[in-house]
Every structure is written in C-alpha cells, then in structure tokens.
A and B are shown apart, each in its own frame.
Chain A
Amino acid sequence: MRSYVPAYELRAPQSLEAALELLEREPDVWRPLAGGTDLMVLFEAGKLTHRKFLSIWKLSELKGVEVTPEHVTLGALTTYTQVQAHAVLQREFPLLCQAARETGGIATQNRGTLAGNIVNGSPAADSPPALLVYDAQIELVSARGSRWVPYQGFHTGYKTMVLRPEEIIRRIRLPRTKQGWRQYYRKVGTRKAQAISKVCFAGSAQMQHNTIRDIRMALGSVAPIVLRCARTEAALRSQKVSAGAFAAAKEVLAQEITPIDDMRSTAAYRLRVAQNLLEEFLLQLQNNGGDESHRGLAAAES
C-alpha cells in the first residue's frame, strides 16, 4: 500500500439525497466511490491524488434494472454480474453481456459497476463500446435536479467528461430499438481472461438483404476516449456489403482512430487489428452470421 491511508476520508451517506447534498455543498471536494475496482488500484499504487470520497456502493436508489416497452434502464451501480444475469439484456443487448463477461474475474464482475466503468473514463473500458452501439442515454443527477444526456459525446477527451462535480450518474437507459440488428463484439486483450483490452470492437447493423441500412460501431483503446466511429459508419451506411465497401471502410477507419504505443501494445497493431475486426464484423454481415465457430460472435441476436 503506497498511499498514506490515514489521510483519506471516506463517508457513506445513507441516501442518494444526502450524497447529492454533500456534493452540492462541497463540489470538487467529494468524489463518489462505488465498487472500488479502479480507484482502489490507484490507491494501492500511491496514485490517488484526490483524498475525500463518498461511498455510494450501498445506495439502493442507484440499483436495479427496470424494463419498459421502450427501454431497459439500468441503475448506475448495476454490476457486471447483474448485467450477465439479466434475461432481457441477454436477449436484446448481448454485446453488453459479453463485455461484462469479459471484464476481469468474477470478483471484479461482482464489484465493478456500469457507471464506474463510464466515469473512470478509460479508453480501454470494456462496456462503453457496447453502450455506444446501443445509443445509451445517461441520467445525471444533482441536488438541483436531473438531466438526460446521450452517452455519445459524454466523454470530451482523455479522462474528461460532461459530468459536473456535483453530479453523479443515476441511470443508464438503453432504447429497445435494435431488434433485428446483427451484433458483433470482440475484445482483444492481453490474454483470455482478466485482461485489459488492446483493442475492443462493438458493432451492430440493420441489414436489408445485402445492404447495410443502418450501422453503429464503437472501438476501445484506439483513441483518447472510447470512440463511436461515425465516419466509418457513414461510409458503410446504405452500402452493399462487398469487398470494395470493406476496403473503403477500413481506410476511413484508419483515418478516424488514433491509436498509440504503450506498455501493452503498439499503434501499428491496434490499427491493423481494428481494421481486421471491422472486416470480420462485415464478413459476418455478408455471411449472414454463418461462421458459427467464431468467438467474436455475440452470444445471441435480437
């Protein structure tokens, strides 16, 4: 333990209201701490510069999954374990379930939360690519009220986001509009489990015969933020799936992402693999999902 533990404050407000009041009264002084799977790692390494935290881990207002005809709404503290176990999510949002299954081991899945994965702001986070593909919306609450924002655009740069110091994420809402879309998720990590992604790809497309009517694509670990690849999407929208379209899309993708060298991988690898995953996704659209043996296939299709 490389941090001076006695200097760190942690309080556990008994209600969301109490937590928000404290954040309102002393903005920037208090920061929320949920399952601890990211912050406690920094703490161990002596790299947690902030000193005062609010434990929101036991706040029931931030828990639970609600299903309406239009949406599935997940409490901010929904854990990876809970995501995987939810029948509607399994059926309609398999990419999110797969992301949850491939994040850490069971212990991490029990403590890691969706909102935590978002606000940690890591470009290598596993669930944000799926959330982007599903057009997720996020409810931000403060003592003064709440607002819904689209998840796309939430991250404004490396570790920066539209969240204000007095706000926390309350819920994440997934519109149930992707029925019939083909889905693809593949995390390329440093090993098969308990890995941080080197490239992570989530894609979903609405097909009409051989034509891509609509498409969503998001990649992790290839830019300062988890990136919705709008330009590549645009290049593919209304296109027939063909070798020519693949090649053009791969070129656009190369322009759209900005991978770097770090201790886990290289920019060249990330670029090449991102392109290869795009191709694999598109081939799957072309093949009508025929390549059953492939592990990149989402577990289910809606």
Chain B
Amino acid sequence: MPDRVNKAEITCTVNGETLSLKAYPMARLLDVLRQELRLTGTKEGCGEGECGACSVWIDGEIANSCLVPVLQVAGSEIKTIEGIATGEQLHAVQEAFISCGGAQCGICTPGMVMAAVNLLERTPHPSETEIRMGLAGNLCRCTGYMKIFEAVVRACQATGVKA
C-alpha cells in the first residue's frame, strides 16, 4: 500500500458560496463535488472526459469535472447543475428540456443542461451547427439528440421573449 500524501486545503466558490475543504490534491473535482459536498447532480458516465455527464463550469467555462484535479480549482468559481435554477424558478433551458422531451433517463441531463446553458451564454442565438457542435461533448444514449436540439431552440426563443 503506497504512502499517502497530505491533503490540501482548498478554497473555492461553488454555486455562489465560498467554501474551504480538505482533499487529496489529485482527487477529481467530480468526486469532491459528489462525495464531500453531496452535490450529486453532477454524474459520472465514463471517467475519461468523453461523455460529458460530469460537466460543470469552472470560471464560466464548461469542463469535465472527472478530468480536473481539485487542487486546480483553488480560487475558482464553480457552478454545478444545482446552481442553474433560481430557487424554484427553473432556467429556460431546464423548462425547455421538460416540455420538449430533452430528458429521458436523465443521467446525461445535468451535464447536457450545463453545456446548453453555457452555449447560450456564449452564443445567444446558435445555428443548428453551433448547437450540435456545442453539445458534441455530451453523449446521450436515449434521445438521439433531436429533442435536445429542439429544447435548446425553444429555450432561445423563451429567453428572447424575456429579454
């Protein structure tokens, strides 16, 4: 059994709340979120950055939390699926995923929503190609993606109306 290194103290902001935690420096951000912070909305699908189920935002950019050692988020702002709705008020993308049938089994959904919201923040009115490219890092085995594309389009329309 190999020797253990010391845990590191890490301060970061998660869904707007600044917190300090102790963790092995190479622990995956995914595991720290799920196990230490009990934010289990972020899912593990592959552990190798392929499926996007573990997508979170780090300083506003989408990232696969399975590939991020927790030490690297010291001082960063993290947003997870738990931070997307405002209280009881769902984000337009979440509403659209429900109404368009963008979620089936739901396991890819948190990551897909994180990617879709991030896409719309960067590109408020994406073309179909931009939607497809923007979600290419998030694999869904249930929907064949059609209803997810529809949801993103509907969310843009909804956001447009609100603005």
Question: A interface vs B, CB < 8 Å?
Answer: 1, 4-12, 33, 35-37, 40-41, 43-45, 51, 53, 55, 57-58, 81, 101, 104-108, 110-111, 192-194
Contacts and interface: CB of A to CB of B under 8 A. Distances in A.
Contacts of B163: none
B49 A40 contact: yes
B149 interface: no
18 contacts: A1-B28, A5-B26, A6-B5, A7-B2, A7-B5, A10-B8, A40-B28, A41-B48, A45-B48, A51-B2, A53-B26, A105-B138, A106-B62, A106-B136, A107-B49, A107-B137, A110-B61, A111-B68
Interface string B62-94: 111011110110110000000000000000000
Contacts of B136: 105-106, 192-194
Contacts of B74: 12
B126 to A, nearest CB: 12
B115 A37 contact: no
Contacts of A43: 26
A6 B28 CA distance: 11
A10 B24 CA distance: 9
A9 B24 CA distance: 8
A40 B68 contact: yes
Contacts of B31: 1
Interface residues of B, number: 40
Contacts of B137: 104-108, 193-194
A49 B150 CA distance: 45
B72 A7 contact: no
B69 A40 contact: yes
Q: Interface SS of chain A: helix, strand, loop or mixed? A: mixed
Nearest to B114: A107
Given A7-B5, A81-B61, A106-B134, A37 B28 contact: no
A12 B71 contact: yes
Contacts of B119: 106
Nearest to A44: B47
Contacts of B118: 106
A110 B67 contact: no
A33 B26 CA distance: 11
Nearest to B28: A1
A37 B61 contact: no
B17 interface: no
Given A7-B5, A9-B26, A107-B62, A193 B69 contact: no
Contact of B67 (A36, A58, A106): A36
Interface string B21-39: 0001111100100000000
B5 to A, nearest CB: 5
B9 interface: no
A1 B47 contact: yes
Question: Which 3 pairs of residues, A with B, have the shortest CB-CB distance?
Answer: A105-B137, A193-B136, A7-B2
Contacts of B48: 41, 44-45
B4 to A, nearest CB: 4
A249 B85 CA distance: 59
B5 A8 contact: yes
A36 B61 contact: no
